[in-house]
Amino acid sequence: MALGALVRSRNLTLPPVDYHSWRQVETADYARNYYEEGYRLFYPTVSRRGHTPGYIESELSLYAFAAAVGYGLFGFHEAIPRLLTIATSTATGYVLFLIGRRLWGSRAGLLAVLVFTFLSPFGLYFGQAIMGDMLVLLFVSLAIYAGLRWAEGGPGYWFGLAAILATLGALSKLPALYVGVPLASLVFQRDGWRALFRLRNWLAALGALAVVTAWYLHAFELGQQTGLSLGILSNNDRIGDLGLLRDPSFYQALFYNFSWRLLTATGVALWLLGMALPRQRRSEHAIYLWVGSVFLYFLIAARGVIRQDYYTLSLLPSAALFAGKALDFLYARVVAWARADSIERRLGALALLVGWGLALPWGAVQAGHSANEMFQPVDPKYGAWMAGQWAQAVVPVGEGLVAVGGAPPEGLYYSHRHGLYLSDLDLALAQEAELRKEGWRYLVIFNPYWGLAHPTRVLATHTRWRLIGGGDWFLAYDISQGPSGTPQDVFSQPPQWGEQVTLLGYDLIPGRPVNSKLYPILYWRAEGEFNGRYVGFVHVWDSRGAFCGQDDHPPLNGLWSTDQWKPGAVVADPFEIDVSGCAGDAHLELRVGMYLAATGERLPLSSQPSVDQLYRFTVRLLDVS
């Protein structure tokens, strides 16, 4: 388990820009808001709040609250919720060992932990993600263990503990109500049909349901106040689509998730073998019902399972237990056959040993490969995080932000600003007057070049509002101002290339690098028609005369190509330049030019002729350290 925790520490300090970043950001947002706005457990808030208090209809995020407490003790570090997930994942593995040991012996328990820890891509990845799902699995597994202890003659406090843990699981994730099915079977195991007439059973069941119902009604009311919801009770389109159960693609998706994400093909084979083996103890029926109740949840929430593959994570603990049972059976069979007098039995032992000796490492490799795909930062999300760092440097603390396009609400979290989330630019353009009236000033389009914001809409914003920043992954505007043809830094003798384009000047917002990236905006003015598509470029040289960065791209990354320019048009063109090689230099020389995209031939600098056709100017950076 210690090795498993070490493996899961891979992305410990990474912001939530990897697989399922949206869900991770939601959870991280709760945690940071708890930390910054007061530890009000029953009032979770999000940054995508507009002018509302930000309350959201959600689960009771005990996980996010615990992370916020960690922030309070140690300061804000995104490693804290990841460490919390690693701890809950490790604890879940230990509980599975306890369950497996109780049902089939210590070896089976250890082998179940092996499957849970190393043969599950989801176990590897979600065992460190900023999500509360592992805490839910811990609550559910502990509830099953407590129920087993009580059903097999344990004292009454195990019964109460099982009820409390099941309640905590359902509060943390409503579908965890499925744990009630195996727990009910354990009650019948101990009490028989008298269970129906025992007051304690009804008090536990109805008490748990009352607490869970009270929370989700409260959460629903919070969502009604603000219009913010995760779609648990309101606008829930993930359940009830029985027609999907007739669609073969649903079962294909399940099989893919089971064999590639949840358990790997080796793990699935072991899980099914474990379920097929004869029962060794009466209490095993609870584990079968655990599997069955989770599958019932999959059928009820079929659309959600298709959309969000991590829903299948709820199957992992019970499947790992049966896989551990299967491995224990195979080990015992190999040992018994190896000691037999029959040559056939010995050959059978050898075949099993070789077969599973190959299958298990192959499954571990498959799990590692599948998990590695999820561990990788997703480029658009990492780009949105970079944009968020720029926004933190530019948008004043306490000022709202309108986030549009392909990364919100992640963009608001990355920007560490509260704001308004609009799904597309049409809404922003249509609501311009209202946005200004409500006091919104800063608008950021995240991932404008990835097809998530239509090019014509981007150009509409570009010619309507003042550009204040941009790069490979964002465009930022001050919507309180119209477009300006006058840069902040105007050249006294603007350079001109041919009879086609003049460089009027530039903006540099902020006046320093952000995460080693410099974000100048060049102001081109078209003087004539362009015959072809040209690429603008900026090369950066430090004070020692060493080259240390560049950015080449068609204007507005191709959304406003030079062959579309009309004479007199002023084009604000944002650049993003990695200047990490400049070693903190306070003065940088920028060399600017244009070349024909098809041939690389540079447009001649006519106003101030030079051999390389480049215009040179120096910028002084602020706060360089």
Assess if residue 277 is contained within a domain: yes
Contact (Cβ atoms closer than 8 angstroms) between residue 447 and residue 473: yes
Mean pLDDT on 603-615: 86
Assess if residue 524 is contained within a domain: yes
Assess if residue 528 is contained within a domain: yes
CATH code (residue 564): 2.70.50.60
Give the 3-state secondary structure of residue 78.
coil
On whether both 367 and 383 belong to a single domain, the answer is no
DSSP state letters, 92-127: HHHHHHHHHHHHH-HHHHHHHHHHHHHS-HHHHHHT
| Residue 337: both structure tokens together | 């056959």
How far CA 511 is from CA of 473, 514, 531, 600, in Å, comes to: 19, 9, 35, 31
pLDDT tier, 292 (very low <50, low <70, confident <90, very high otherwise): very high
On whether both 366 and 415 belong to a single domain, the answer is no
On whether both 463 and 508 belong to a single domain, the answer is no
On whether both 399 and 498 belong to a single domain, the answer is no
Mean pLDDT on 481-507: 91
Percent of the chain with pLDDT over 90: 72
pLDDT at residue 162 above 80? yes
On whether both 386 and 291 belong to a single domain, the answer is no
pLDDT of res. 79 = 96
On whether both 450 and 502 belong to a single domain, the answer is no
Assess if residue 171 is contained within a domain: yes
| Strand residues in 32-182 grouped as ranges (E) | none
Question: 499: domain range?
Answer: 493-620
Last residue of a domain, one of 357, 375, 393: 375
HSE-CB for 593 with a 13 A CA cutoff: 23
Cα(354)–Cα(553) distance, integer angstroms: 56
On whether both 449 and 338 belong to a single domain, the answer is no
On whether both 70 and 184 belong to a single domain, the answer is yes
Q: Which amino acid is at 401?
A: L
Cα(571)–Cα(553) distance, integer angstroms: 14
Residue 535: partners with Cβ closer than 8 Å, 6 or more residues away: 552, 553, 554, 594, 595, 596, 597
Mean pLDDT on 168-190: 97
Assess if residue 487 is contained within a domain: no
Contact (Cβ atoms closer than 8 angstroms) between residue 89 and residue 125: no
Assess if residue 625 is contained within a domain: no
Cα(545)–Cα(222) distance, integer angstroms: 59
| Residue 430: both structure tokens together | 């249509």
pLDDT of res. 246 = 82
pLDDT at residue 307 above 90? no
Percent of the chain with pLDDT over 70: 97
Task: Note the helical H segments in 339-416.
Answer: 343-375, 379-394, 410-415
Cα(34)–Cα(48) distance, integer angstroms: 15
Assess if residue 488 is contained within a domain: no
pLDDT at residue 575 above 80? yes
| Residue 499: both structure tokens together | 């009879």
pLDDT of res. 101 = 97
Mean pLDDT on 83-98: 97
pLDDT of res. 424 = 79
Cα(411)–Cα(480) distance, integer angstroms: 21
pLDDT of res. 604 = 93
pLDDT tier, 313 (very low <50, low <70, confident <90, very high otherwise): very high
Q: What rounded mean pLDDT belongs to the chain?
A: 92
pLDDT of res. 131 = 96
How far CA 3 is from CA of 69, 137, 264, 483, 502, in Å, comes to: 27, 20, 20, 57, 61
Assess if residue 485 is contained within a domain: no
On whether both 472 and 498 belong to a single domain, the answer is no
On whether both 366 and 442 belong to a single domain, the answer is no
**Higher pLDDT, residue 4 or 135:** 135
Q: pLDDT of 343-398, one tens digit each?
A: 888 888 888 888 888 989 999 999 999 999 999 998 888 999 999 999 999 999 98
On whether both 503 and 459 belong to a single domain, the answer is no
On whether both 67 and 197 belong to a single domain, the answer is yes
pLDDT of res. 406 = 66
pLDDT of res. 237 = 62
pLDDT at residue 238 above 70? no
Q: pLDDT of 435-486, one tens digit each?
A: 999 999 999 999 887 655 567 778 888 888 999 999 999 999 999 998 877 8
Last residue of a domain, one of 478, 513, 529: 478
How far CA 132 is from CA of 26, 83, 87, 412, 601, in Å, comes to: 11, 12, 12, 21, 55
Mean pLDDT on 204-211: 97
Read off the pTM: 0.92
Give the 3-state secondary structure of residue 197.
helix
How many domains does the structure of the chain reveal? 3
Last residue of a domain, one of 342, 375, 408: 375
H-run or E-run covering 523: strand 520-526
Residue-level length of the chain: 625
